[in-house]
Amino acid sequence: MEKLTDAMVEIREDDALEIVNERVKAGEDLLKIIEECRNAMVTIGEKFEVKEYFVPELIMAAEIFREIMEIVEPKMQKGRRLETLGKVVIGTVQGDVHDIGKNIVVSMLKVNGFDAYDLGADVPPEEFVEKIKEVEPEVVGLSALMTSSWESMKKTVKAIKDAGLRKKVKIIVGGGICSKEVADYVGADAYGRYVTDAIAFCKEV
């Protein structure tokens, strides 16, 4: 357990994947392996909060976790399913193609036990609406990095409202240009400055 956790926290990709492959071949409990990875990601998130780690480390850690899940998930299809805390639809709003921060949030949502549906970048309001209808999430995340995207966020919230879905979801906005004032302006329920804010909000909902 410590070997896998240490390898992930220290961002040693090859070591982490080798350990996981060995443990999967040995027939170990796959859910236990995933839980250890999640715990490691929590530690990485804590290091980010105290500025011991920065965005590159978060990106690398998220990539390692994704690769581990690619090893483990196919083996789980005929076995037990992972419990999910809830569903989140997330995307970068129309007119904005920045997605690094959004991608990190998506990875951390999955790490923390959420079903995260990533719509990508430059997503029109109608696409958010259709996905909400399809998967019925509890939370919708709108990401943006440009001030010009405020209006896109507002249009997206309005589209969700016009579709009669607003009361069924909580909406959180995030990105470098976001603040509580922006959240209020576009009609969102919350604003997340850090990845951990988004995770905490989703858990609360």
Contacts of 112 by beta carbon, 8 Å cutoff, 6+ apart = 38, 41, 42, 85, 199, 202, 203
- Structural domain boundaries, residue 66: 2-76
Where a domain ends, among 41, 56, 76?
A: 76
pLDDT digits (tens, 9 = 90+) for 116-169: 999 999 999 999 999 999 999 999 999 998 888 999 999 999 999 999 999 999
96 and 170: one domain? yes
Percent residues over pLDDT 70 in the chain? 96
Q: Is 123 helix (H, G, I), strand (E, B) or coil?
A: strand
Query: How many structural domains does the chain have?
Result: 2
- Interatomic CA distance for residues 108 and 42, integer angstroms: 9
Q: Which of 133, 145, 138 is nearest to 174 (CA)?
A: 145
Structure confidence at residue 81 (pLDDT):
57
Task: Compute how many other C-beta atoms are within 10 angstroms of the C-beta atom of residue 132.
Answer: 21
Structure confidence at residue 196 (pLDDT):
81
Q: Are 72 and 34 in contact (CB under 8 A)?
A: yes
- Interatomic CA distance for residues 28 and 124, integer angstroms: 43
Residue 127 one-letter amino acid: E
Terminal Cα-to-Cα distance of the chain (whole angstroms):
31
**81 occurs within a structural domain:** no
**23 occurs within a structural domain:** yes
137 and 46: one domain? no
Structure confidence at residue 139 (pLDDT):
98
All residue ranges of the chain with pLDDT < 70 are: 1, 77-82
31 and 108: one domain? no
Structure confidence at residue 80 (pLDDT):
53
**182 occurs within a structural domain:** yes
103 and 145: one domain? yes
Which of 60-84 are b and which e, b meaning 16 or more Cβ less than 10 Å from the residue's Cβ? bbbebbeebbeebeeeeeeeeeeee
- Computed over every residue of the chain, the mean pLDDT equals 90
- Interatomic CA distance for residues 42 and 158, integer angstroms: 34
